[in-house]
Amino acid sequence: MLARVATEPGALRGWPRAAAAPRRGLCGAAAAAAAPPAVPAAPRPFGQVPGERRPGWLNLLRLWREGGLSNLHLIMARQFRRFGPIYREKLGVYDSVNIISPGDAAALFRAEGALPERFSVPPWVAYRDLRNKPYGVLLKSGEAWRSERLLLNKEALAPELVPGFVPLLSAVGQDFVRRAQAQARHSGAWTGDFSHELFRFALESVCHVLYGTRLGLLQDFVQPEAQRFIEAVSRMFHTTAPLLHLPPALLRRSHGRTWREHVQAWDVIFGQADRCIQSTCRELRRGGARGPRGILGNLVERQRLPLEHIRASVTEMMAGGVDTTSMTLQWALLELARAPRVQEQLRAEVLAAKREAGGDRERMLRGTRLLRAAIKETLRLHPVAVTLQRYTAHEVILQGYRIPPGTLVQVALFAMGRDPAVFAEPERFRPQRWLCAGPRPFLGLGFGFGPRQCLGRRIAELEMQLFLMHVLENFKVETERGAEIGTKFDLILVPDRPIQLTLRPLEGAE
């Protein structure tokens, strides 16, 4: 029942849109919500923000009963229909204000201060406390966060890094194509559930950039440790969700099964990342400057960050780079298979760019705007993160309510992406909507915003662009019509059932 509600066109319409002046939107869409809400004469007090004033544990219990949290994104969409574009809710020990309009997101990010803080996933913090491990940049806060983040930006996010990343990521994309071609040789096409292939592709990609070496995960034989790592990351996400709203102090002392599994999953993740980090460091000491150095090598060489801290953040990047890009690519392939015309347009763009750039991948990237828009469009419909969160640094007015400093505010990314007041025909996959002239403020928030946005963004974007480029040059992507695929909250948002896809070699492709 829930699954239907949120996908229905117009399902999110109909709340009192107080004072939202219609504005120019995305390709003519009436993006009323993008307008900053006109502030009423006197802002209303925080206490009047709509919502259920029930104890947090009661809300949590209800959420559990309605599908064990895996419908969190749909339940949020329903709360917006019930309460309007802002509501307050206490889940477990965490009290938050939820917003859905891009104008409010803009106001929130203006109030994030110089040291922005997001909700810092309590089970992840509790694991590090339990094992006495330093936090990586994802979990750090304050000045410690800022200085480390600035150093990491230089090695992972800065635009100057693109020329170095492109060959590393393109090589992995090419290997995927080679593997797919070999698979297709038997029966003319390669059909199946690609999630495992894409997990391996994603891990291979992120490791190439981090360590400068190849693991060889796109061959028939996959090392069991790599496979174990992949499974551990999924298990880590899966076991985070049910622990998310419990107090950390309780977690650490808990003997529950989910917590035990969570700890074991992190142990595997850290163990495997440590092996990769150590062997890279050994190579470095041997002066092994063969081939590219990788992010880890550069961080160690620069010596501005203690090794312990480098390890913590590199481990986060390695774990963060598996399910995120692979799931997004899976959604992208599904959307392309369902929209053959869009797929043809993208292919035409890629092939034209290839002729123009003579196969220079970096130049090709500059000539493929629609391809980049297709990734944005995929993340609009299928964001990895259900919400973006910030603790306000000073008072901010949202929908005419005074939100005091220190409040946890969440931008409901999933609900926003499907809100017809923000995106015309939200259920349609239409990358073109991103290519129109005019400002599109706070609409493409798939990687977050500002100094606290996703550190892996550059890697993820290039990895996905290059992957889709290689695939579109060589294969037609198809899927069987039939069962609609829904979304499930598993800490990150993932498909609720396996997706069957076919890669059919194009005539004349090498």
Report in angstroms how near the CB of residue 508 gets to ligand 2DC at its nearest.
Answer: 38
CA angle 257/196/66 to nearest 5° reads 45
Report in angstroms how near the CB of residue 353 gets to ligand 2DC at its nearest.
Answer: 29
Does 387 contact ligand 2DC by CB under 6 A? yes
Considering only residues 394 to 433 of the shown chain, the ones binding ligand 2DC according to CB under 6 A are none
Identified binder of ligand 2DC from the candidate list 324, 330, 407, 487, rule CB under 6 A:
324
If the CB atoms of residues 32 and 60 are measured against ligand 2DC, the closer one turns out to be: 60
Identified binder of ligand 2DC from the candidate list 246, 492, 499, 503, rule CB under 6 A:
492
Q: What is the DSSP letter of 159?
A: G
Report in angstroms how near the CB of residue 205 gets to ligand 2DC at its nearest.
Answer: 14
* b/e 199-227 (16+ beta carbons within 10 angstroms → b): bbbbbbbbbbbbbbbbbebbeeebeeebe
Q: Which amino acid is at 49?
A: V
Identified binder of ligand 2DC from the candidate list 37, 320, 400, 446, rule CB under 6 A:
320
Identified binder of ligand 2DC from the candidate list 107, 217, 319, 333, rule CB under 6 A:
319
Selected range binding ligand 2DC among 38-46, 163-171, 194-202, 312-320, rule: CB under 6 A? 312-320
Report in angstroms how near the CB of residue 448 gets to ligand 2DC at its nearest.
Answer: 8
Report in angstroms how near the CB of residue 322 gets to ligand 2DC at its nearest.
Answer: 8
Euclidean distance between the first and the last CA atom of the chain, given in angstroms as a whole number? 47
If the CB atoms of residues 127 and 194 are measured against ligand 2DC, the closer one turns out to be: 127
If the CB atoms of residues 328 and 343 are measured against ligand 2DC, the closer one turns out to be: 328
- What does the alpha-carbon distance between residue 406 and residue 416 come to, in Å, rounded to a whole number? 24
Spell out the residues 6+ positions from residue 121 whose beta carbon is closer than 8 angstroms to its own. Answer: 139, 240, 244
Q: What is the DSSP string of 290-315?
A: -S--HHHHHHHHHT-S-HHHHHHHHH
Are 209 and 293 contacting, i.e. CB atoms less than 8 angstroms apart?
A: no
Mind spelling out the 3-state secondary structure of 190-242? EEEECHHHHHHHHHHHHHHHHHCCCCCCCCCCCCHHHHHHHHHHHHHHHHHHH
3-state secondary structure of 509: coil
Selected range binding ligand 2DC among 37-45, 125-133, 250-258, 313-321, rule: CB under 6 A? 313-321
Pairing assessment for the beta strands 487-490 and 492-495 based on DSSP bridges: antiparallel
Give bridge partners of residue 391 from the DSSP assignment.
Answer: 408
Tokens read off for 427: 């259920």
If the CB atoms of residues 379 and 386 are measured against ligand 2DC, the closer one turns out to be: 386
Report in angstroms how near the CB of residue 422 gets to ligand 2DC at its nearest.
Answer: 19
Identified binder of ligand 2DC from the candidate list 353, 386, 396, 468, rule CB under 6 A:
386
Taking CB under 6 A as the rule, which mask of x and - marks residues 131-160 in contact with ligand 2DC? Answer: -------x----------------------
Please return the burial class of 182, using the count of CB atoms within 10 Å of its CB with bins 0-12, 13-18 and 19+. exposed
Considering only residues 233 to 262 of the shown chain, the ones binding ligand 2DC according to CB under 6 A are 244
Selected range binding ligand 2DC among 37-45, 82-90, 295-303, 315-323, rule: CB under 6 A? 315-323
Identified binder of ligand 2DC from the candidate list 491, 494, 501, 503, rule CB under 6 A:
491
Q: Which amino acid is at 33?
A: A
Report in angstroms how near the CB of residue 413 gets to ligand 2DC at its nearest.
Answer: 8
Are 94 and 245 contacting, i.e. CB atoms less than 8 angstroms apart?
A: yes
Considering only residues 69 to 98 of the shown chain, the ones binding ligand 2DC according to CB under 6 A are none
In the β-sheet with 387-391, what is the strand arrangement from edge to edge? 86-91, 94-99, 408-412, 387-391
If the CB atoms of residues 118 and 488 are measured against ligand 2DC, the closer one turns out to be: 118
Identified binder of ligand 2DC from the candidate list 7, 93, 119, 134, rule CB under 6 A:
119
Report in angstroms how near the CB of residue 93 gets to ligand 2DC at its nearest.
Answer: 13
- What does the alpha-carbon distance between residue 501 and residue 194 come to, in Å, rounded to a whole number? 7
Sign of CA dihedral 167, 161, 292, 225: negative
- Residue with the closest Cβ to ligand 2DC? 320
Which residues of this chain interact with ligand 2DC, rule CB under 6 A? Answer: 118-119, 121, 138, 244, 316, 319-320, 324, 384-387, 389, 454, 491-492
